A and B are shown apart, each in its own frame.
Chain A
């Protein structure tokens, strides 16, 4: 990890741990605004709109492995990615509102022909989580949340590789889970994830600034300003 001149140290993050992290704390670049703002409820008190208790526990645990908290940069949990996923599943994405969902369906068709499940993404989460939990119990001797991190990673890898026997209607589960986790990490904070724009600060993305007229062509010069969100907040 190199710290670029004129840019806040990426090592400056306080490492958050697990579910109870209420608000991101920044060392060095602490944002007065962010700290004055009312903190959102801790994740265990967040009022869910789609996921049930068991699903929430799984999504929390899975996100924490897909983008872990240790090391440089925030993890999915500090960024409140599970909140993002819950809201997306309750919304148009979860309902596949925009997609063509008329049959006949051939969910086992060659993957190059794209999504062919009769189930919406929200339904896929709902059916795939228990199926995956069953497999974790049988193969690793416990529910996903109960496994050691290394075993959780192994289980997710099996899921990704298609080694977990899921019905073909559910085969996009891992790709949705991973894509949604990264979306929640990097999307505008208005969607519930990327809390405090931590993921943007971490990589150096300035968000919705939208005007860089004097910047094209500068050689190896790091843009100095931190991110701004669509609602005008700054990190």
Chain B
């Protein structure tokens, strides 16, 4: 029970990461009274990420200084619905954010748009290859929006974040040196691409010789100075090599802080509170609207009821689903019957890579950035004959390095001992002589890959933890094995002295220990059918029309790309409906 009720706000935002900051900024322009509640600490470039303290691999890279602390918040994991789920006690596989800026502080900044076919994957597969190639239990779904509809909103996000890249398709005109397989864009990126590292040039040369189409990876690491739509300024990236898992000391990595928050904090009708974790969205007696949220204020040790007319759930995909489940908004998904929507279609990201070692090449790997490098999309979703290859999915294939931090990024040739004299000799011999070609691919959702409430484990507030049921499936393993074969061809053409591949193979079990990606998607998916989606195509919940859910929880299955381009684009897409349709006349929009 709340011990205090605060004065009502027009809008309450849960979580102040990328989506929370975007929603706050745009709705503040509407003159609404807005409060954002963030469970973690406040964070600013200075003093939190300033030189030299941020260059601490142990604190941030290894001990997860900026991430969610499982002691405060975690979930349980199992491989199938028969197993007993156990807590994700220590971070590993994915690293949710915590604190102002969310994971937008310690991400890499690889900023992609989905391919046109990815928004309407079920329709595309049925029309092109026939419904019978879809494996039983694979719950393919369309998003309910198209690439054309999303284009202006993706452009808006890229303009706010300040993305560096080279367009490949402007209004249907293919651009030399860009990605010829991308959906048409209305304009080039706001900034030219980053400088390439030598390893990615070598890869691009090899790929070009094989007839592929290399292009620079779109990055949220600024390649020049830039002022965005909100008057916020970015400076050129220093290639510092402490990007992913770290805050940027240089105002170069696009983050909510650098791109939005200082402008937002100047708005008199916006305020935010930190160390305030939302426990529940409260529903009105008729269950059709929310009345506000209850949160725990760590500053005072109180439970507080915050009334609001509009509740924006911007807590990161996993926490969004957890909050909906705890608040009983939308019917929970049941994998046995296939009924219910909240928790449905959780999916992840399928990645793999091949390492190459060259005795006589030195790559200075500490000269790195979160998102630079070269990519080919020749084996992307729109380019693969799913009928012929026997899987549904695709990957981008990429080369570039994010840093040469010696604890986490030491890469040694196959056969090197893990310790002892041989290990020590190898770190001296091979540090910086390695490049790696990675595949970053799609992951489909299945009937049993889902999220629900755990029957046993509780969090520090006594609420049930969320339970994740997830494992790798044949379709996705076939996809990654296909990429392995393509990548190894390119790698061999580069004549390395040693080479080693790591891709999921037959029977691979999801392992929560090694970092894979924080690209957890689904669970509160968007769509046009309330029986198979938790939110409509405007990101409004079907059940409580004043509760809207942002983030990758909306994806019906995963993209082959990193999610944040689409996450940002969807936030601006939802704002269009909110502003034009909903605020003048609050109601279910569909």
A210 touches B249 (CB 8 A): yes
Contact of B406 among A75, A109, A111, A186 (CB under 8 A): A186
Q: A212 to chain B: which residues have CB within 8 Å?
A: 238-241, 364, 366-367
List, in ascending order, chain B residues with CB within 8 A of A178's CB: 418-419
* Residue A183 CB within 8 A of the other chain: yes
A99 at the interface (CB under 8 A from B): yes
Bound state CA distance, A221 and B86, in angstroms? 49
Residue in A68, A98, A213 whose CB lies within 8 Å of B70: A98
- CB within 8 A of A99: which of B90, B361, B410, B432? B90
Cα distance, A89 to B366, chains bound together (Å): 29
Q: Which among A73, A111, A116, A230 is the interface contact of B428 at CB below 8 angstroms?
A: A73
Chain A 128-156 interface mask (CB, 8 Å, partner B; 1/0): 00000000000000000000000001001
Q: Is residue A46 within 8 Å, beta carbon to beta carbon, of the partner chain?
A: no
Q: Is the CB of B406 within 8 A of A200?
A: yes
Name the CB-closest residue of B to A107: B86
Q: Which of B52, B250, B405, B424 contacts A68 (CB 8 A)?
A: B424
Is A33 positioned at the interface, with any CB of B under 8 Å from its CB? Answer: no
Does A16 interact with chain B (Cβ within 8 Å)? no
Shortest Cβ distance from B419 into A: residue: A66
Residues of A within 8 A of B418 (CB): 160, 178
B265 vs chain A, min Cβ distance (A): 27
How many angstroms between the C-alpha atoms of A75 and B360 in the bound complex? 26
User: Quick check: B424 and A186 within 8 Å, CB to CB?
Assistant: no
Interface set, chain A 59-101, CB cutoff 8 A to B: 65-68, 70-73, 75, 92-93, 96-101
A67 to B237, CA, bound (A): 36
B195 pairs with A216, CB closer than 8 A: yes
Chain B residues 282 to 316 lying within 8 A of chain A, measured CB to CB, are: none
Residues on B with beta carbons closer than 8 Å to the beta carbon of A104:
456
A110 within 8 A of B: yes
In the assembled complex, B272 has its CB within 8 A of some CB on chain A: no
Q: Quick check: is B198 within 8 A (CB to CB) of the other chain?
A: yes
Q: Is the CB of B239 within 8 A of A115?
A: no
Give the segment of A24-32, A36-44, A201-209 that binds chain B: A201-209
Rounded to whole angstroms, the CA-CA distance of A148 and B360 in the bound complex is 37
Interface string of B493-527 (1 = CB under 8 A from A): 00000000000000001111100000000000000
B151 CB–A CB distance under 8 Å: no
Is A47 positioned at the interface, with any CB of B under 8 Å from its CB? no
Contact A191 B70 (CB under 8 A): no
B196 closest partner in A (C-beta): A217
- Given A186-B407, A210-B55, A212-B238, does the pair A223, B364 have CB atoms closer than 8 Å? yes
Give the dominant DSSP class at A's interface.
loop
Across the two chains, which residue of chain A brings its CB closest to B456? A104
- Does B585 make an interface contact (CB < 8 A)? no
Min distance, Cβ A122 to any Cβ of chain B, angstroms: 14
Nearest to B430 among chain A residues (CB) is A203
Q: Which bracket fits the contact residues of A?
A: 35 or more
Measured CB to CB, the closest approach of chain A to B373, in angstroms, equals: 10
The yes or no answer to B429 lying at the interface (CB within 8 A) is yes
- Check B420–A68 contact: CB distance below 8 A: yes
Candidates A67, A92, A102, A217; contact of B63 at CB < 8 Å: A92
Q: A67-B424, A216-B367 are in contact. Are A114 and B194 (CB under 8 A)?
A: no
Contact pattern, B 73-100, Cβ under 8 Å of A = 1, otherwise 0: 0100111000010111110100000000
In the assembled complex, A167 has its CB within 8 A of some CB on chain B = no
- With both chains docked as a complex, state the minimum distance between the C-beta of A133 and any C-beta of chain B, in angstroms: 19
The answer to whether A216 and B196 have CB atoms under 8 Å apart is: yes
Given A100-B71, A208-B55, A230-B53, A114:B88 Cβ within 8 A = yes
A112 to chain B minimum Cβ distance, whole angstroms, is: 4
List A contacts of B510 (CB < 8 A).
112
| Per-residue interface assignment for chain A, residues 162 to 199, with 1 indicating a CB less than 8 Å from any chain B CB and 0 otherwise | 00000000000000001001110011100100000001
The B163-186 residues at the A interface (CB cut-off 8 A) are none
Bound CA–CA A104/B364 (angstroms): 47
Answer whether residue B431 sits at the interface, using C-beta atoms and an 8 A cutoff.
Answer: yes
* Distance from B231 Cβ to chain A, minimum over Cβ atoms (Å): 25
Does A222 belong to the interface (CB within 8 Å)?
Answer: yes
Q: Is the CB of B577 closer than 8 A to any CB of chain A?
A: no
User: Complex: how many Å from CA A213 to CA B195?
Assistant: 9
- Give the distance in Å from the alpha carbon of A67 to the alpha carbon of B428 in the complex: 12
Minimal Cβ-Cβ distance residue in A for B422: A71
When distances are taken between beta carbons in the complex, the residues of chain A under 8 Å from B512 are: 112-114
B interface with A by C-beta (< 8 Å): 51-53, 55-58, 62-64, 69-71, 74, 77-79, 84, 86-90, 92, 194-198, 201, 236-242, 249-250, 359-362, 364, 366-367, 369, 372, 404-407, 410, 418-421, 423-425, 427-429, 431-432, 456-458, 509-513
Between-chain CB contacts (< 8 Å), 20 pairs? A1-B429, A10-B428, A72-B428, A73-B427, A75-B424, A112-B509, A116-B87, A153-B420, A183-B58, A186-B410, A203-B431, A204-B432, A205-B404, A215-B364, A216-B196, A216-B197, A216-B239, A222-B362, A223-B364, A228-B52
